[in-house]
């Protein structure tokens, strides 16, 4: 029952993240760098801070429990966050050129593989990670196979659609450019899980005696803070270069409130994935394989749900039967990868 509860919590977070880019479509009169930085304040600073505060024992403070692990652990966690932040920049571009469904599928596939396997292969560097096992490798391989099939469906989609249909579904559709960016985004985004496994969680549980339910959330906050710094530097640079900084406050009050609202919704939905992962993992501690595979499960569920959003947003409109069948097979393989660790 605990495993089911943990997976359900992770699934709810994945569902929230998969739709986090939908509210951005409601933002008006702002350049990309304006809404990206604004939603980042909510997604990478405010919501993670609120989540991390849940872990603080009575009579203590967030700063004191983090600093008790040593500056080296905190710094390492944030550095991985900065690397993840670079991947996050290209992650947004992958969806710009490939759409929500295909862009997230490819980027998260690479993120899933690297983020799951690297910590398990290097336990001396990532003390919070479970050890590598053949079962873990097989499970990740199945997930990658499903994502590869979905990627193939995206290639078929490109072949079957006219240029007009492509532009209607995804305004800036560009398959080759999108594929390169998606792979880069996925590899760099894997650093998020590296940061989560850098050692802070173990310290908080074993030394500070933080409630295991929320023990992973301070590390999440440090990773997202590092990512925010990388994104903020780039967005402010773009504000200066494109002279878009004035857009933050040159819009009407109604538009400003509208943009802040939808950026906040997008930020909250995005953060839900790692809040769900952190809380959900606390229910998987009795099953080391499921715990090690949880990051891959999260990525697979996001891919699954993002393709549902892709269908809802009509990104697959106009494609042939073969493409749809291929997409469904890929989604089925992804679902199998999630239950695989439990049936072997």
pLDDT the model gives residue 164: 63
Selected residue with higher pLDDT from 120 and 256: 256
As separate numbers, helices (DSSP H) first and strands (DSSP E) second, the chain gives: 15, 0
Selected residue with higher pLDDT from 128 and 271: 271
**Residues with Cβ < 8 Å from 38, sequence gap 6 or more?**
30, 248, 259, 260, 263
Average pLDDT over residues 135-140: 86
| CA-closest candidate to residue 200, choices 217, 181, 180 | 217
Q: Which two tokens stand for residue 256?
A: 């400003």
Average pLDDT over residues 38-47: 97
**Is residue 135 within 8 Å of 341, Cβ to Cβ?**
yes
For residue 224, pLDDT over 90 is answered with yes
Q: What share of the chain is helix, strand, coil (3-state, %, to 5)?
A: 80, 0, 20
pLDDT the model gives residue 101: 60
CA angle 132-135-140, nearest 5°? 85
Average pLDDT over residues 304-312: 79
Residue 337 pLDDT grade (very low, low, confident, very high; cuts 50, 70, 90) = confident
Dihedral, 107, 113, 115, 118 alpha carbons, nearest 10? -140
> What is the distance between the terminal CA atoms of the chain, rounded to a whole angstrom?
18
Domain ranges of the chain: 2-343
| CA-closest candidate to residue 5, choices 215, 286, 337, 283 | 283
Q: Which two tokens stand for residue 225?
A: 């803070």
Give the sign of the dihedral formed by CA 335, CA 337, CA 342, CA 344.
Answer: positive
For residue 150, pLDDT over 90 is answered with no
| Among the ranges given (67-76, 82-91, 176-185, 319-328), the one the predictor scored with the smallest mean pLDDT | 176-185
Read off the DSSP letter of residue 106.
H
Percentage of the chain modeled with pLDDT above 90: 45
CA distance 133 to 76: 25
Selected residue with higher pLDDT from 78 and 163: 78
Q: Which two tokens stand for residue 170?
A: 């995804």
Mean pLDDT taken over the chain: 86
Radius of gyration from C-alpha coordinates of the chain: 20
For residue 43, pLDDT over 90 is answered with yes
Read off the DSSP letter of residue 62.
H
Residues 153-195 pLDDT 10s: 877 776 766 656 555 555 566 677 777 887 788 888 889 999 9
Average pLDDT over residues 219-231: 96
**Is residue 18 within 8 Å of 311, Cβ to Cβ?**
no
pLDDT the model gives residue 282: 92
pLDDT the model gives residue 344: 61
SS3 sequence of 201-219: HHHHHHHHCCCCCCCCHHH
For residue 96, pLDDT over 80 is answered with no
Give the helix/strand (H/E) hosting 250: helix 247-250
Query: What's the predicted TM-score (pTM) here?
Result: 0.84
CA distance 205 to 75: 19
| CA-closest candidate to residue 47, choices 13, 78, 24, 93 | 13
pLDDT the model gives residue 229: 96
pLDDT the model gives residue 14: 94
């Amino acid at each position: 029952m605990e495993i089911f509860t943990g997976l359900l919590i992770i699934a709810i977070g994945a569902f929230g993240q998969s739709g986090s880019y939908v509210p951005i479509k409601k933002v008006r009169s702002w350049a990309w760098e304006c809404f990206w930085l604004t939603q980042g304040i909510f997604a990478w600073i405010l919501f993670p801070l609120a989540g991390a505060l849940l872990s603080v024992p009575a009579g203590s403070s967030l700063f004191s429990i983090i600093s008790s692990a040593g500056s080296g652990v905190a710094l390492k966690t944030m550095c991985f966050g900065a690397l993840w932040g670079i991947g996050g920049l290209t992650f947004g571009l992958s969806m710009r050129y490939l759409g929500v469904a295909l862009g997230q599928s490819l980027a998260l596939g690479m993120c899933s593989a690297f983020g799951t396997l690297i910590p398990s292969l290097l336990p001396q560097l990532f003390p919070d990670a479970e050890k590598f096992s053949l079962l873990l490798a097989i499970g990740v391989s199945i997930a990658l196979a499903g994502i590869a099939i979905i990627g193939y469906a995206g290639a078929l989609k490109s072949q079957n659609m006219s240029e007009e249909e492509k532009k209607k579904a995804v305004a800036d559709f560009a398959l080759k450019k999108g594929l390169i960016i998606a792979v880069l985004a996925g590899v760099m985004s894997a650093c998020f899980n590296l940061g989560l496994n850098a050692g802070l969680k173990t310290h908080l549980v074993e030394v500070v005696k933080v409630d295991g339910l929320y023990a992973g959330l301070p590390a999440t906050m440090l990773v997202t803070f590092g990512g925010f710094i990388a994104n903020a530097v780039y967005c402010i640079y773009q504000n200066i270069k494109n002279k878009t900084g004035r857009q933050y406050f040159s819009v009407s009050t109604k538009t400003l409130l509208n943009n802040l609202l939808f950026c906040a919704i997008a930020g909250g939905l995005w953060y839900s994935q790692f809040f769900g992962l952190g809380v959900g993992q606390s229910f998987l501690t009795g099953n080391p394989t499921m715990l090690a595979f949880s990051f891959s499960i999260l990525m697979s569920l996001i891919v699954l749900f993002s393709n549902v959003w892709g269908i809802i947003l009509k990104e697959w409109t106009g494609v042939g039967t073969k493409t749809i069948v291929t997409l469904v097979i890929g989604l089925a393989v992804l679902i199998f990868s999630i239950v695989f660790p439990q049936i072997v």
